[in-house]
Amino acid sequence: MKSDQPRLARRPSLWDRASWRTSASAMVLGLALGMAGAVQAESKQVNIPSAPLSEALTELGQQTGLQLLFEPGLVSGKRSNAVSGNMEPRAALDIMLRDAGLSYRIESDTVIISNPSSTGATLELGATSIVGQGMGEATENSGSYTTGLVSVGSKTPVSLKETPQTVSVITQKMIEDQRMTSLPDAMKRTPGITVRNNNYHAQQFYSRGFGIDNVQIDGTAPMDIGTGVGTFYSDRIYDLAAYDHVEVLRGSSGLLAGTGDPGGVVNLVRKRPLDHYQLKLNTSAGSWDNYRSEVDLTGPLAFDGKLRGRMVAAYTDRQYFMDNRSTEKPFLYGVLEADVTDDTMLTFGGSYDKVKENGTGDGLPRYSTGGDLHLPRHTWYTTNQAWSDSYTREWFAKLDHYFNEDWKLNTSYTYSYNDSTTEGIIPYGSVDENTNTGPYWWGSYVASWSKQSVFDINLSGSFEAFNRRHEVLFGADYQKVTSRWRAAQGMLGKGGMIDLWDPQSTPLTSDASNHNFYRDYYPNKREQYGLYSTLRLQLTDPLKLVVGARAQRYKFEQAYSMRNAAGTGPWSESDSVSDREPTTLVPFGGLIYALDDEWSTYVSYAEVFKPQAQKMKGPVDSPTSIDPMTGKTYETGIKGELLDGRLNVSAALFYTKRENQAVSDPAYPNATFSYSSSCCFLAQDKITSKGIDLEATGEITPGWEVMAGYTYNQVHNDTQETLYSTVTPKHLFKLWTAYTLPGVLSDWRVGGGMTAQSPTYVKGEAYRFDNNWNVIDSQPYKFSQSGYAVYDAMVEYKVDDNWTVAVNGNNLFDRRYYASVGTSEYGNYYGEPRNFTLTLRGTFE
């Protein structure tokens, strides 16, 4: 009988296949690892670092040619001792299994690993697995704050210690402990990441002074987050109910993440079906009527477990500490996995969420000089007439196929569609210091949609050369984003001056709203596609070289049209842009040196580029798009995989330079402003960022988990745009820890943490308006957000084997601070006051 289960079992597990019982002779054929051949007594050169036992045994089979037979359940959670040197395979096995509590015996030409008490000829095969693209290592049910393998920046599972860039992981246990429900929640807890409000519900993520533009899902081609100015690509907020964990790479990531800023890339790893039945229930109630419920059901469906499924449903109904703000959000996620053959697995799934928002404002104003109004934190400048409706639907399909034990093909496709309609009502204008007046009600009605299609195919494998094992990846990806954004006057012209301390006392004077569109971005689309490859060469026993390159093409098209402000009459195209970037080569290089079994040091160089199609260079009568911005990141550091892999630590020094940012061309000081192809600019200025990243994540002692990160970041900005250097604090410290009490108190877990950062500042030009929205005057402003620290805590009690109940408290000392700072006119958001959440969780298997 032909079976390739040995190839599947020997790879790192991500999701499980069905169990079955078979004879020892059949399993010798079904689980054979490595080349056929008898166990020989001759010495072999062996170099295997400490690693999960299943991985180490796989590597031993590759390096020695042994056939190894083992039940995956026996090695689950165990680690191998490191072995290195010229030795007999038996000696290597003795060392590797010394602390695992396992034994082995030789039958004919096969090594069978078992419990010392095993005597029968029949073994039960536990869960085996095949590894999909971008999976890394599942963290569900691990109870850990760290993971052995990640795929961000590599597309194939690689240990953190062998990833020559800074990577942080938010595991499922951390998501549960800190009650994270959305991607922004996870990013707020991620070391080195700053989160800033873009509007009432969307956030932008910053790393090392630069924005993060892209999200990968399961390591595939990048999806645009939708936060870039003038892109209008997406209004989606990713719900964490669908994801096992979040991986965040900091620094340039153009090799596998496409175009963007050198801030980094996020990889969301989806939840996968399990090989056994599991039901999880989660319901919570918090301050300001914040309610959420989740149901997560998974297990085998048919064909002896070869067809598996998972369904996740969540519902959020919440209000906020601000006046007139509420959200309702149902969410649904489903996925099917089918073992088409022993070598091939097909995955198909999708998700749907619908969001109903009330109170769609845009933050608080300040004095025209930048001074703080010191408003009550519940103040929210909008009215009951402001609302937003949106929905997102997504479909995805994946095919994973093994050609043999060394080579694997990954193919994936994801389609996402987002639709949003918003009736926005916000303050317009800064506040006069003498009269405490200035802002007027301003409104707009906006309808937008976007659809993204991403396709990724790659071939990964390992080969032997010069008596060493090496790895290679070849692939291609494609992204197409098409969107449309239209706006009408909405409530504009119906408002009045706002009573700053009682905004609801000055409502809009009419319920009428003009929904006739007069501004339109369409077409509005971009495409990018590329070929990529990486090569991981084991140069010597401790030294590994990682090299890669991407050949990227990019094109962008946008037109902006207008008609009269009443939304009537004929449309006319105001301006448009069509830009194609020639093939651009994006290189990557890294060296990893293993100091011993636990520590490695590395250096790396990475690039990324970002087209500026909407920024035009002169002359005015025939402008053309300026050159793309380019980002380069140099990084060196040390990483440790301690306590048998239960604790990961890292320290990195980084230097990033982004060049060619657009600045106004002094040769055209009076160029007419336009909304699409603005003229005239030069690509000549730069931003530099340098600093230190420190992180420790995992288990310090049994039952004590921690995630701690400190970032020191100096950003020097030569450009006219000061956002990057002002949003990122020089010092950023994040800590969260949880401890299971010992002995008779072991049903209790306690946790706590803090987020602390140094001051940030903002400067710009403030405008005041009259009742007809004409500019009265303007003046420069500059203000700062002082440094602050926020403390959180958790207490959890295990009621029985199925149920736990937990209480989370955030901002325990009720610190008053701005979570985001904007301008003197709008965009300033208070951080949440002290709040609590009670959560009940149930798990049934």
Helix (H) or strand (E) holding 245: strand 243-250
DSSP strand pairing (775-785 vs 760-769) = antiparallel
Between the ranges 25-39, 89-103, 379-393, 468-482, where is the mean pLDDT highest? 468-482
Report residue 238's pLDDT band, with 50, 70 and 90 as the boundaries.
very high
Q: Is 418 helix (H, G, I), strand (E, B) or coil?
A: strand
pLDDT of residue 513: 85
Element (H, E) at 587: strand 572-594
Mean pLDDT, all residues of the chain: 86
Least confident of 253-267, 364-378, 765-779: 765-779
Average pLDDT for 536-564: 96
Mean pLDDT of 233-245: 91
Q: Which residue has the higher pLDDT, 434 or 264?
A: 264
Residue 5: phi, psi to the nearest 5? -55, -30
- Residues near 540 by beta carbon (within 8 Å), at least 6 away in sequence: none
Token readout for 271 is 């939840």
Q: Tell how strand 290-302 and strand 278-286 pair up.
A: antiparallel
Nearest 10 degrees: Cα torsion 658, 663, 666, 667: 90
Closest to 285 in 3D by CA, of 843, 842, 835: 835
Mean pLDDT for 376-393 is: 92
Identity at 296, one-letter amino acid code: D
pLDDT of residue 114: 75
CB-count exposure of residue 836 (10 Å: 0-12, 13-18, 19+): middle
pLDDT greater than 90 at residue 553:
yes
pLDDT at 492 (0 to 100):
63
Question: Would the pLDDT of 811 be above 60?
Answer: yes
Whether 51 shows a pLDDT value over 60: the answer reads yes
Whole-model pTM: value is 0.85
pLDDT at 557 over 80: yes
Q: What's the distance, CA 414 to chain centroid?
A: 16
| Token pair 């050369």: residue | 465
Split at pLDDT 50, 70, 90, the class of 232 is low
Q: Which of 4-13, 248-257, 590-599 has the lowest mean pLDDT?
A: 4-13
pLDDT at 722: 53
Residue 755 pLDDT > 90, yes or no? Answer: yes
* pLDDT value for 495: 59
Alpha-carbon distance of 613 to 628, in angstroms, equals: 8
Q: Tell me what percent of the chain is helix, strand and coil, each rounded to the nearest 5.
A: 10, 55, 35
For residues 455 and 415, the answer to whether their CB atoms sit within 8 Å is: no
Confidence grade of residue 769 (pLDDT, cut at 50, 70, 90): low
Per-residue pLDDT for 392 more than 70? Answer: yes
Find residue 193's DSSP bridge partners: 207
- pLDDT of 724 over the 80 cut: no
Q: What's residue 23's pLDDT?
A: 35
Q: What is the pLDDT of residue 124?
A: 38
| Average pLDDT value for residue range 613-627 | 88
Q: Band the pLDDT of 40: cuts 50, 70, 90.
A: very low
* pLDDT for the residue 433: 84
Confidence of residue 49 (pLDDT cuts 50, 70, 90): confident
489 falls in which pLDDT band (50, 70, 90)?
A: confident
For 318-367, write each residue's pLDDT tens digit. Answer: 999 999 899 999 999 999 999 999 999 999 999 999 999 999 888 998 98
Query: Structure tokens of 377?
Result: 């934190």
Render 146-209 in DSSP notation, one character per residue.
--SEE-TTTSS-EEGGG-SSEEEEE-HHHHHHTT--BHHHHHHHSTTEEEEESSSS-EEEEETT
Q: Which amino acid makes up residue 104?
A: Y
Element (H, E) at 709: strand 704-717
In terms of Cβ atoms closer than 10 Å to its own Cβ (0-12, 13-18, 19+), residue 501 is: exposed
Whose tokens are 């999708």? That residue is 350
Pairing of strands 678-679, 599-617: parallel
| Cα 516 from chain centroid (whole Å) | 38
Mean pLDDT of 615-631: 90
pLDDT in tens, 160-178: 999 999 999 999 999 999 9
- Token pair for residue 791? 């403390």
Residue pair 681/649 in contact by the 8 Å Cβ criterion: no
**Does residue 267 register a pLDDT over 70?**
yes
Predicted pLDDT at 66:
72
Lowest mean pLDDT among 179-193, 582-596, 767-781: 767-781
Query: What residues are paired with 616 via a beta bridge?
Result: 625, 679
Strands 278-286 and 835-844: antiparallel
Q: How far apart are the first and last CA of the chain?
A: 33
Tell me the C-alpha distance between 428 and 825, whole Å.
6
- The residues facing 637 across adjacent strands are 602, 652
Give the mean model confidence (pLDDT) for residues 288-301.
Answer: 97
How confident is the model at residue 30, as a pLDDT?
A: 35
Check residue 761 and give its pLDDT: 82
Give the pLDDT confidence score for residue 441 in this predicted structure. Answer: 83
* Beta-bridge mates of residue 624: 617
Higher pLDDT, 182 or 726: 182
Please tell me which of 36-50, 370-384, 499-513 the model is most confident about, judged by mean pLDDT. 370-384
For residue 39, what pLDDT band results from cuts at 50, 70 and 90?
Answer: very low
CA distance 607 to 261: 10
Is the pLDDT at 575 greater than 90? The verdict is no
Torsion of CA 743, 744, 749, 753, to 10 degrees: -60
C-alpha span between 282 and 291 (Å, rounded): 11
The pLDDT score that the predictor gives to residue 688 is: 93
Question: Each residue of 187-230: pLDDT tens digit?
Answer: 999 999 999 988 888 889 999 999 998 999 999 988 888 655 44
pLDDT above 70 (res 142): yes
Q: How high is the pLDDT of residue 35?
A: 33
Provide the percentage of residues in the chain whose pLDDT is more than 70: 86
User: Which residues are within 8 A (CB) of 282 and not within 5 positions of it... i.e. 6 or more apart?
Assistant: 292, 293, 294, 295, 296, 839, 840, 841, 842
Alpha carbons 196 and 827: distance in angstroms, whole number: 10
pLDDT tens-place string over residues 770-793: 666 667 777 788 888 889 999 999
- Tallying the residues shown for the chain, one arrives at 845
